[in-house]
């Protein structure tokens, strides 16, 4: 497959670290030093499905494809207002996509899980033109009185259209199941028969453990995946790393011994937008003309599960 088009959409409301320090015991200095985040876009009056649809249309336009050309549509999402149908169905109705579609919930590395699936469909001859949309609103998962989580996240949607080509060189998905590190639960509708304890808990995170997992999973997987196709780090043009924390990105960069210019980032402006993060960054870099033909892009992402994944794409 080949990436034919990219798109992204951010909510219009921008919340700075100083805005947060007005109602939280935090500061611009703490958030900037510990995370690299200066501001984030959060949903106010937007609907996530509208942002997802707009991102998809932007990617389709760049790809020169119509919604009805798609053979498969995979949507990565953790939560949205619809329990059913899937966000993929809601977006399909909005933009006129008519192929089989479904949601995956693979948290922050969702784009790379979707890419891995898309690659398998393509190689099996079951789909040629594939739409992937990653849309997440983690701001709606946090307790906004909990300074250790809510300062980290922003909302957004990203999309790619994939078509015929041989540019997806390798993908690998992984898990180290450990629910306790990053989780959220919600209470479902009651019934006359429910007699168990259920909890409505906003996002809970063991930050230091997630940090260590992210750095170790990413570095191990990037090295192994490059090795699996006989590539060296010198062959890599850019690393598109999940934008969770600038210190995580720096640690990965230092471990790999790679220069800063190979690591484009947007975390300062957007925070962590879960599975949308890699695609928003990809689209921003693409639209400003950063990538040249044949550049090697290495993707790496990690998150709740604990899940992680990597991919290598020739531009």
Write out the catalytic residue numbers: 108, 242, 272
Minimum Å gap between C-beta 254 and ligand COA is: 16
Q: Which contacts qualify for 143-148: CB closer than 8 Å, 24 or more apart?
A: 143/202, 143/203, 144/23, 144/24, 145/24, 146/202, 147/20, 147/24, 147/25, 147/26, 148/205, 148/207
Cis preceding linkage at 314, omega within 30: no
Tell me the residue nearest to ligand COA as measured from the CB. Answer: 207
Binding mask 96-125 for ligand COA (x = CB under 6 A): ------------x-----------------
Nearer to ligand COA, 158 or 163 (CB): 158
CB atoms closer than 10 angstroms to residue 198: 11
Q: Which stretch binds ligand COA (CB under 6 A): 48-56, 90-98, 147-155, 196-204?
A: 147-155
Minimum Å gap between C-beta 300 and ligand COA is: 12
Cis preceding linkage at 85, omega within 30: yes
Nearer to ligand COA, 97 or 240 (CB): 240
Question: What does the alpha-carbon distance between residue 315 and residue 313 come to, in Å, rounded to a whole number?
Answer: 6
Considering only residues 246-275, where is the footprint of ligand COA by CB under 6 A? Answer: 272
Q: Which of 52, 133, 151, 310 binds ligand COA (CB under 6 A)?
A: 151
Minimum Å gap between C-beta 125 and ligand COA is: 34
Give the count of alpha carbons within 13 A of 194, CB side only: 8
**Residues in binding contact with ligand COA, number by CB under 6 A:** 18
Minimum Å gap between C-beta 155 and ligand COA is: 14
Nearer to ligand COA, 202 or 207 (CB): 207
Give the count of alpha carbons within 13 A of 178, CB side only: 16
Minimum Å gap between C-beta 1 and ligand COA is: 26
Taking Cα atoms as reference points, which of 135, 144, 131 lies closest to residue 97? 131
Binding mask 17-46 for ligand COA (x = CB under 6 A): ---------x---xx--xx-----------
Q: Which residues pair with 16 in a beta bridge?
A: 39
- Tokens at 101, concatenated: 């579609």
Binding mask 188-227 for ligand COA (x = CB under 6 A): -----------------x-xx-xx----------------
Minimum Å gap between C-beta 65 and ligand COA is: 31
Question: What does the alpha-carbon distance between residue 218 and residue 302 come to, in Å, rounded to a whole number?
Answer: 7
Q: Which of 139, 167, 218, 245 binds ligand COA (CB under 6 A)?
A: 245
Q: Where are the beta strands (DSSP E) in the chain?
A: 2-9, 13-16, 39-42, 72-76, 100-104, 130-136, 156-163, 168-175, 182-185, 201-205, 238-241, 296-303, 307-314
- Residue 34: strand, helix, or coil: helix
Considering only residues 284-313, where is the footprint of ligand COA by CB under 6 A? Answer: 303
Give yes or no for residue 5 binding ligand COA (CB under 6 A): no
Q: Catalog residues that contact ligand COA under the rule CB under 6 A.
A: 26, 30-31, 34-35, 108, 147-148, 151, 205, 207-208, 210-211, 244-245, 272, 303
């Amino acid at each position: 497959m080949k990436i034919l088009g990219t798109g992204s959409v951010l909510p219009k409301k921008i919340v700075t670290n100083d805005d947060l320090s007005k109602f939280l015991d935090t500061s611009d200095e703490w958030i900037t030093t510990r995370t690299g985040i200066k501001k984030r876009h959060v949903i106010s009056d937007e609907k996530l499905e509208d942002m997802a649809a707009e991102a998809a249309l932007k990617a389709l336009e760049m790809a020169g494809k119509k919604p009805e050309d798609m053979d498969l549509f995979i949507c990565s999402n953790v939560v949205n207002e619809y329990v059913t149908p899937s966000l993929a169905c809601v977006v399909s109705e909005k933009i006129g996509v008519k192929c089989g579609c479904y949601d995956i919930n693979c948290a922050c590395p969702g784009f790379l899980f979707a890419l891995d699936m898309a690659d398998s469909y393509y190689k099996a001859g079951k789909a040629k033109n594939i739409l992937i949309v990653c849309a997440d609103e983690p701001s709606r998962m946090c307790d906004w009185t909990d300074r250790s989580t809510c300062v980290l996240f922003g909302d957004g949607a990203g999309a790619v259209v994939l078509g015929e080509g041989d540019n997806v060189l390798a993908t690998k998905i992984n898990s180290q199941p450990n629910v306790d590190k990053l989780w959220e639960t919600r209470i479902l509708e009651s019934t006359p028969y429910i007699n168990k304890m259920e909890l409505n808990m906003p996002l809970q995170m063991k930050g230091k453990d997630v940090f260590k997992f992210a750095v170790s999973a990413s570095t191990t997987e990037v090295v192994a995946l490059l090795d699996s196709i006989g590539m060296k780090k010198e062959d890599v043009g850019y690393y598109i790393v999940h934008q969770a924390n600038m210190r995580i990105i720096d640690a990965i960069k230092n471990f790999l011994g790679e220069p800063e210019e190979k690591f484009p980032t947007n975390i300062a402006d957007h925070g962590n937008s879960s599975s949308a993060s890699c695609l928003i960054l990809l689209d921003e870099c693409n639209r400003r003309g950063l990538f040249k033909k044949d550049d090697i892009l290495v993707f790496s992402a990690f998150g709740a599960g604990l899940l992680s994944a990597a991919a290598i794409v020739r531009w």
